[in-house]
A and B are shown apart, each in its own frame.
Chain A
Amino acid sequence: MNIIITISITAFIVLYAGLFKANKALLPLTVVGLLTALGFTLAAWNGNAVHFGMMQTDNFALAFSGVCIIGTLLIFLLTQNYFHAKSDNIAEYYTLILFALAGMIMMVSYKNMAMLFVGLEIMSVSLYILAGIRKRDFASNEASLKYFLMGAFSTGFLLFGITLIYGATGSFDLDKIQDYLIDSKSISPIFYPGVILMMIGLCFKVGAAPFHFWTPDVYEGSPTLITTFMSTVVKTAGFAAFLRLFAGAFAPLHDFYAVPLMVIVCLTLFIGNVTALFQKNFKRMLAYSSISHAGYMLFSLIVLTKNSENNVLVYAAAYTFASIIAFAVLILVKQKTGSDSFESFNGLGKKNPLIAISLTIAMLSLAGIPLTAGFIGKYLMFLNVMGDYHMILVAFAILNALIGFYYYFKVIVAMWFKDGAEIELSTPAQYKVVLLVSVAITLILGIYPAIILNLI
């Protein structure tokens, strides 16, 4: 509860600071607010408090809140020289990102479906504005309108699902729904369509195939920094919400929803990886790779064990920090060359070894090479499913991971082995901090995974 209050108050303070033209104070204020929220997250660890029957800050919620807050903090550090060049009203960017973060904290810690809906909407409405924040840029307009129409459409499905489940159980409370599923002799026939509709609604939000078609356009059209936010932190929060519902309240119905989920996972992996192969544009490639990573994260729900939630946490953390590196380098390259195609990465390694090494580690982590966090994430997911002898599924996923190698290595090859313009990037100090922290987290999680393995 303290976490949400701190973040919301920070958002208002930043808005007022913008009103009084205190542009230099915006970033320090935000960082202080987020660090305070992070402190509250650590202080509440093992507390398992329930707030008014609406939210439960158990370790699951706190761990995901921590990942979201750290990810947002790193993204805020990337704002140096980014918004100033484009607009005068930069306080609004900060405020909207903070409001979206407050919504996400609600999404990861809800105990009542009303909070799921409210949190999801607070997050989405902020993101609709952020996607279209460049009013004169046509791509940004288009991304915003598409995101808005698809988001509102998927909310309709989610709400209809919630309503049917309420009709069957008479409650919005997750514990009561679970008790209903365990105790009652015959489950009401309207419960099952409710589960499927909620699954569709949430799959839209996390961008899993066949409900992924908005993702590449929205990610490509939005400003790169907002894309970073959407494809890392927002995705993590979406998965936490997914998991809280399907691995928690609906766990007794696992036999029912496992089959449609398996179809979704296979489609997501296949479409994400194969389409990413044909992309010429680095930003769009990252959008498709984020679809395929959604597939790997949904893997944990196919076989529910006590480790499922922790596995998603590891995977989400690995994916978030590696993607932040990739997008940070993309922002730098685009500022210098004005293009985000693969060619603009040619020969980057000769003049900018530090940046090129960071990006190489990020790509290796996304591809899942040992000694990086991405490998641990994939390994845990596959191990979990292998325990139940879904061999064909694991083989299919490994095949897809191999396809992934190709397009991630394309970037590495372009940087180190191709001759290009040999531009020298100007790297502001804050970008160096972000790159170093993200690389450190990626390597530490890859070499000593024990620190995060039994967190939840």
Chain B
Amino acid sequence: MENLTTQMAGVPLNHYIYLCAIIFTIGVIGVLTRRNAIVIFMSVELMLNAVNLLLTAFSVHSNDPSGQVFVFFIMALAAAEVAVGLAIIVMVYRNTKSIDINVLNRLKW
């Protein structure tokens, strides 16, 4: 673990920031362009995981464990969100036989 931490610290912090910003942007673009509810949902998870990665990197660099504790909060609450979200998607699928969000136009945007 010690060895791993020193190795991680060897990579400059900037690289982590760039990597996470890129992953986060991919997630945002996914949410905005995709039409399938499940794929949108996966893109949201990608955004959250970019955040997790960045929090861990900051936490190691500043020798402060609270960042890693925050990652646990995010994981736990993301799991709760997945449980509710998939239930909602299943409910919509039962009524419309589709998970394409273009079907959702009864209420005008």
Contact = CB atoms under 8 A, between A and B. Distances in A.
Interface of A: 114, 117-118, 121, 125, 128-129, 132, 135-136, 138-139, 141-146, 148-149, 152-153, 155-156, 159-160, 162-164, 166-167, 170-172, 190, 213, 216-217, 220-221
22 contacts: A114-B69, A117-B70, A125-B80, A128-B88, A135-B91, A139-B107, A146-B104, A149-B44, A152-B41, A153-B44, A156-B48, A159-B51, A160-B24, A160-B51, A164-B54, A167-B58, A170-B62, A170-B64, A213-B109, A216-B107, A217-B109, A220-B107
Given A145-B92, A149-B37, A128 B84 contact: yes
Given A132-B91, A141-B95, A167-B54, A114 B104 contact: no
Contacts of A141: 88, 91-92, 95-96
Interface in B2-49: 13, 17, 24, 27-28, 31, 37, 40-41, 44, 47-48
Interface string B84-106: 11001101100110000100101
Contacts of A118: 73, 77
Contacts of B73: 114, 117-118
A245 B78 CA distance: 23
Interface size class of chain B, counting residues whose CB lies under 8 Å from the partner chain: 35 or more
Nearest to A153: B31
A152 B89 CA distance: 14
Nearest to B85: A148
A163 B92 CA distance: 34
B24 A156 contact: yes
B92 A142 contact: yes
Q: Give the top 4 A-B pairs by smallest Cβ distance, nearest first.
A: A156-B47, A167-B58, A217-B107, A121-B77
Contacts of B50: 160
Contacts of A138: 95-96, 106
A135 B58 CA distance: 43
Q: Is the interface of B mostly helix, strand, loop or mixed?
A: helix
A170 B64 CA distance: 7
Contacts of B88: 128, 132, 141, 144-145, 148
B89 A159 contact: no
Nearest to B64: A170
A149 B37 CA distance: 8
Contacts of B47: 153, 156, 159-160
Contacts of B101: 145, 149
Contacts of A153: 31, 44, 47
A301 to B, nearest CB: 25
A149 B41 contact: yes
B89 to A, nearest CB: 7
A81 B73 CA distance: 39
Contacts of B77: 117-118, 121, 125
A216 B107 CA distance: 9
Given A139-B106, A163-B58, A170-B62, A145 B37 contact: yes
A172 B107 contact: no
A156 B70 contact: no
B95 A114 contact: no
B84 A159 contact: no
Contacts of A155: 48, 81
Contacts of B64: 170-171
Given A118-B77, A128-B84, A172-B66, A145 B104 contact: yes
Contacts of B48: 155-156, 159
B12 to A, nearest CB: 13
A216 B67 CA distance: 37
A194 to B, nearest CB: 11
Contacts of A121: 77, 80-81
